[in-house]
Structure 1
Amino acid sequence: MDAPTMSSPPIDDTGPPSPEPVTRPPSQPSDSPWPLYEDDEDAAFVPQNNARDFNAIITRARHNVQHTVEPSEDSNTASSVSEESNHSLPAIAWNNNDQVEPEEPPAKVRKVHSPQEEIDGETCPICLDIWGNSGAHRLVALKCGHLFGSECVERWLKAQPAKDKTCPTCKSKASLKDLRFIYARKLIAADTTEITSLQKQVEILQTEKNRTELELQKTKIAHRACAAELETLKNSLLKSQTMKELISKRTWRYALEKNLEVCKDGGCRVLTYNCRTYELYVSQKSVNYLFPGYGIRKVNCIDYSLGQFVHLHPKPIRDMAYSQPRDLLLSVGLDSTARIVDRGILSATVNTGFPLWSCAWDCSNTSEFYVGGVGGIVNVYDFRNLSACLGTIACNRDMSPVVSLCSTPYGLLSCQLNKCWLCVPQDGIWKQKPMPVEGSFMSMSYDNETQRALVSVRPSASGSERSKLVVCKFSEGLTDKVMIDVEETFSGSARASLMSRSTFCKAPGASWVAAHSESDSALFLHGLDGARTMSLPAAEPALDVCSLYLNGNSILAALSESRLRMYRAVQTSV
């Protein structure tokens, strides 16, 4: 099959003669598979194919060239022609680059968006996270039309000043009230309902975890504190056990240190101790006939010398109480008055209208004090305003005088001749609880350190029973009620013509209750907690007994009607 050749179009003889055509050199060889175009105007009609059409044409041309070889020729000739044709095709295509017109660029193809760009349109422009259809990051729009996650845009607007709140994208004016939730028919976003629920569960679990960790830390701190306290208590227990072993190997006895004559005419009744000035205040009768009555005498406990006398009452003094926080001395007498002495000077007087037998300062409120007298009446006063009585405690079942008053953390202990009470204020009303002690009473005292009360009971009228010293222990109950238990009872005197007072007495590692036995003419010290009982000879009855601690020495003072005896504890070996 011959190679195609280009021929001139036929000339119509009937028409007018045409001008002689201009001969141009062929742009391609005659054996080229491409059609030959005579002029450049025809090139405008040549289709502009892309690279794929170009490859198809090249393949078709090679196929046509291979079929031009005669079938009768031998295979060597055919293969040589084919090989020559294969080598000639590139020459046909590329050797005439200078003559081939450059191809125009392909037609503009529509840009196809990548999946990443599509995802970019589904994310919040603030946090670049996918918004959802629920939860804190659900899809919202501002009035300008831009879309955001609700949590992000709210945080954005709140962070800006009120006058400068703008859209993060277009900077147009915006506010929180412009937020609109988008309820689209089709929202290409992650369904975060389950995720939001799980996130809430995670937050709850995280909060629980933080709370547990905090409780764990508190528990560890408390454990360390308890461990330290336990170690301290162990050391204290070992130390106390060692001290007890040392103390158990020694005993105490009281030796007479000083015997002072306070008043020749007698009239001494009660005494109390001032721990600030190391002085004893002793009530006595006035020795000045120009100023009859009763007052107090100061006794120096360091050199046992008699000091100043202060006149107070026209009638006998029945009780005295010293307030260490206020440095005030309170005294009451049968003249129905209570008087307050400040640094040796009479500063205030209260007239109650009935004879007074006892007094006491309040242990918690240092400005208040109690006075008790005949009729079983107890009045409460504030020394800052003595014009009015703060309250009255009266027992209708017992009209006997109040012989002793003791203020304790559990309430006010009131001892009458026939009954002992624990008075506790509740809602402005004093509730009275009877103590588990029966009999006729002489006095009562209280020890704050051991929370014990000592009650002196008179002997029976028939003389069949001796006087008793009853030790009561106070403690808190399970229902916040005060528990009063009788701890120990000691036998006393067979007769009691005088109302003598008893008290607690202490020395390192030992304690006693001291009371005078009129029938035995001795001052008995009954041992507590295993201490040995002692007796001190006393020719004159001891009306009042006071224990004090001075310069490392335990002193016991016993007062009779005219004399004051001072005993000092002396250590002895077993």
Structure 2
Amino acid sequence: DSRPPGPSPPSSATMNRIRQPMDNGRRRLRPRRLRPRPPSAMSDTQSDDGILGASTASTQSSRASTVIQDSETNSTVNDDSDATDIMPIPRSPSYSPSMSVSSDTRAVRASSRSNSPTTSTLYSIHSPHSPDYSPPSSVAGWDSDVEIVEPLAYVPTVENPLPEVPAEEVPPQVDEEPQGQPEALIPPLPLPQPVNDVPLKPELTKPKVPESVFNSSTLSESEEGSLCTICMDPLTNSGSHRVCCLRCGHIFGFSCVERWIKVGCNNGVKRCPTCNKKACLKDIRILYLPKVVPLDTVERDRLIKEKEELLSQKNLIEMELSRCKLLNELNAKKYEENLLKLEKELKEAEETILLFSQGKKVVLPEIVTKKKDKVGTELLHMIEVSKDGGCRVLAFNRHRYELVVSQPSGNTIFAGYGVRVLNTVDFQPTRFVYLHQKMIRDMAFHHEDRNLLLSASLDNSAKLVDMSNSSTVHAFKTEGPLWSCCWDLTNPHLLLVGSQLGKVYQYDRRMVDTYVQLWEDKSNTTPVVALASVPSVASTPFPQGGFISCRLNSVFSYARHGDKYSCQKLPLDGPFMSMKYDYTSQMLLTSSRPSSRCPYARINFNQVDQDCQGQVCLPLIHTFNCGSSARVLSRMTTLPTLADSLVVAHHESGRTVNMWSSKTGGLVHSFSIKDPVIDLVNVDISNKCLLATLSDKKVGVYKFTA
């Protein structure tokens, strides 16, 4: 009744069949010695064979029949005796025997020949969850005719098996037997086989996996899902690397997959980098997933933008600082020369006074009889801004000290026209700003806003450009190509543009939908070659301001009276090339081509005045001869000096640039130039008078000396 449920253990007769006789030169299997015996308790044969006894209490015990006998001792014990030989079981490499019998070992007493319960044979059954257990795969070194009979035992089911522990770490344990009972040292038996073809539960042999393994794998999967598979950087919820996907569903960073489709794939074979399915730019979709946790880069993008703005401000300040340092050095050198000159003159004056006090003859020094120095120019820079030509207009920003040149774009992809910016420190090109698709005919900087540039082009548009960040503020569309533009000096929000069809548009930059006013003469559709704004000055023909429009064959003045304008044709003869109005001296300059009435190109210098009826009158002051030919529509300028104002224009037939005095009308100075001059502009930097000339490809900078 005490025997556990299951099949009965094999009988002694069955166990005797697995004995291995030692005669006939056959090899005998020996169990591994687990505990050394005292020499007095071992026979000669036992010491030779190395078989341990089963009794641990006393070698003189009366229950000697249970001691294991060797087959070579010629004992009288037959096959039906109670004593049986021990059959060792091969062990797996991970098995390590202990010095004592495991606590999991249970003794099963087999019945004897007479099936008497008093005589039994001990068997050792190890639990499959014992740390010393390892299921055998094969029996190495056994003879082929040896039959192995494995007893079956009841194996309890363990729901949560413990992980394996190395054999050397298991502390030895000894089963406690009742006193007087011999202890049999039996090696462990192999894993019980399935009963009735019912497989054992996998939980019995499957080791328990630590939770850290699952946690680490889960963590790696979450990290992998938040990375772009192209650059392996974290996905963001804003900016250029925000999370997006293709039509196939694979997720990438926007900038990476866009660059992959544009550059990484050949034309016609644009595919997904993960599954190689066809993809294109229109398949990219921005994702807004609540469960996706991308890297938050809103604050970082804001800081990057602020950093770029600060760097641009820093560059502007550094450029302004370097320009000021250069100007200070030039001014210091000039002041030192003037100081030396004044010291020399003072010394000469003191000597003259000394001679005069002594009653000697005195010769007046040069400071009294000195004549004016001769006017001259010096070439400072000659810069090539366009290799292919196409330059047309110059404009100078007196607030930012920048000189801009209109020229065609050097990029074949973005064909068109823009402006090249030159700094006034060394007059080297700094950047190019793309503006129009066709040639730019006129430009004007705002007289108050230091960053605003107005441009007029042949592509039927005028643009407002912010030069601080090279961006277009607004574009005004017109019906025809534009030839000229200017800002209203009375109202800083108004601007004027002149059309090739003879129309003049007035726009308000606060209301950019349409023009404010339009002036046109259907009988005269010649292009408007120049526009000039007139500020409001009392006791003049323009008490509330106005503007002057110069067409190819005529000049008109428009005086403001409230919201209306009065138009008057001025008594000037064309064909005209350019016009300039100097509101400080109220002088009007018009340049004309040779005609049947005048065989040479000329510049008329007129004073703007009003008659007794309040109409505009233009008394002629001077006429300057500019040569016999004028194939290029060249523009002129004025160059202020200390005591005079010079009129500067190109003399095409003589290949020179001439300077005339506005007071005397005489030629003051001229210098030769190789290429025809298209435009001239005065560059005023810290009371230093410079002259900039523009040809089809180059910009020249000259220093004026008086």
Q: TM-score range by the shorter chain?
A: 0.5 to 0.7
Match of 1:470 among 592, 599, 604: 604
Question: Quick check: 2:570–2:617 contact (8 Å CA) kept in 1?
Answer: no
| Matching residue of 2:690 | 555
**Letter in structure 1 aligned against 2:663:** D
Residue by residue over 1:86-144, the C-alpha shift from the partner in whole angstroms, topping out at 9 and shown as x without a partner, is xxxxxxxxxxxxxxxxxxxxxxxxxxxxxxxxxxxxxxxxxxxxxxxxxxxxxxxxxxx
Residue by residue over 1:272-313, the C-alpha shift from the partner in whole angstroms, topping out at 9 and shown as x without a partner, is 100111111110010111111000011112221111100000
| Matching residue of 2:455 | 331
| Structure 2 residue ranges without an equivalent (≥5) | 1-367, 536-541
Does residue 295 of structure 1 match 2:421? no
| Matching residue of 1:423 | 558
* Partner Cα distance (1:356, 1:337) in 2: 7
Question: Quick check: 1:507–1:569 contact (8 Å CA) kept in 2?
Answer: no
| Matching residue of 1:265 | 388
| Structure 1 residue ranges without an equivalent (≥5) | 1-244
* Partner Cα distance (1:272, 1:473) in 2: 25
Match of 1:502 among 625, 636, 644: 636
Shift in Å at residue 551 of structure 1? 2.3
Deviates more, 1:355-364 or 1:505-514: 505-514
Larger RCO of the pair (alpha carbons < 8 Å, separation 6+): 1
Match of 2:680 among 511, 529, 545: 545
Shift in Å at residue 476 of structure 1? 4.3
Larger fraction in strand? 1
Shift in Å at residue 511 of structure 1? 1.8
Residue by residue over 1:24-45, the C-alpha shift from the partner in whole angstroms, topping out at 9 and shown as x without a partner, is xxxxxxxxxxxxxxxxxxxxxx
Shift in Å at residue 479 of structure 1? 4.5
Question: Quick check: 2:453–2:465 contact (8 Å CA) kept in 1?
Answer: yes
* Partner Cα distance (1:391, 1:289) in 2: 38
Does residue 487 of structure 1 match 2:621? yes
1:91-170 paired onto structure 2 within 5 Å:
none
Match of 1:514 among 609, 633, 648: 648
Question: Quick check: 1:398–1:418 contact (8 Å CA) kept in 2?
Answer: no
Does residue 387 of structure 1 match 2:513? yes
* Partner Cα distance (2:372, 2:428) in 1: 36
Question: Quick check: 2:409–2:434 contact (8 Å CA) kept in 1?
Answer: yes
**Letter in structure 2 aligned against 1:418:** N
Match of 2:409 among 280, 286, 294: 286
Residue by residue over 1:375-410, the C-alpha shift from the partner in whole angstroms, topping out at 9 and shown as x without a partner, is 210000011111021101112332100010000123
| Matching residue of 1:318 | 441
* Partner Cα distance (2:370, 2:619) in 1: 28
Shift in Å at residue 493 of structure 1? 2.0
Pair 247,420 (structure 1): closer, same or farther in 2 beyond 3 Å: farther
* Partner Cα distance (2:508, 2:445) in 1: 15
Q: Percent identity?
A: 33
1:35-434 paired onto structure 2 within 5 Å:
249-327=372-450, 328-342=452-466, 343=468, 344-409=470-535, 410=542, 411-426=546-561, 428-434=563-569
Report the secondary structure of 2:624's partner residue: strand
Report the secondary structure of 1:533's partner residue: strand
1:14-25 paired onto structure 2 within 5 Å:
none
Larger fraction in helix? 1
TM normalised by structure 2 equals 0.45
Report the secondary structure of 1:375's partner residue: coil
Residue by residue over 1:330-363, the C-alpha shift from the partner in whole angstroms, topping out at 9 and shown as x without a partner, is 0010000000011232111111121100000001
Residue by residue over 1:54-76, the C-alpha shift from the partner in whole angstroms, topping out at 9 and shown as x without a partner, is xxxxxxxxxxxxxxxxxxxxxxx
**Letter in structure 1 aligned against 2:485:** C
Q: How many residues are aligned here?
A: 326
| Matching residue of 1:566 | 701
Compute the RMSD of aligned alpha carbons.
Answer: 1.9
Shift in Å at residue 248 of structure 1? 6.9
**Letter in structure 2 aligned against 1:538:** I
Pair 304,424 (structure 1): closer, same or farther in 2 beyond 3 Å: same
* Partner Cα distance (1:474, 1:250) in 2: 32
Pair 278,458 (structure 1): closer, same or farther in 2 beyond 3 Å: same
| Matching residue of 1:446 | 581
Report the secondary structure of 2:608's partner residue: strand
Question: Quick check: 2:397–2:403 contact (8 Å CA) kept in 1?
Answer: yes
* Partner Cα distance (1:275, 1:361) in 2: 15
Question: Quick check: 1:436–1:486 contact (8 Å CA) kept in 2?
Answer: no
* Partner Cα distance (2:619, 2:523) in 1: 23
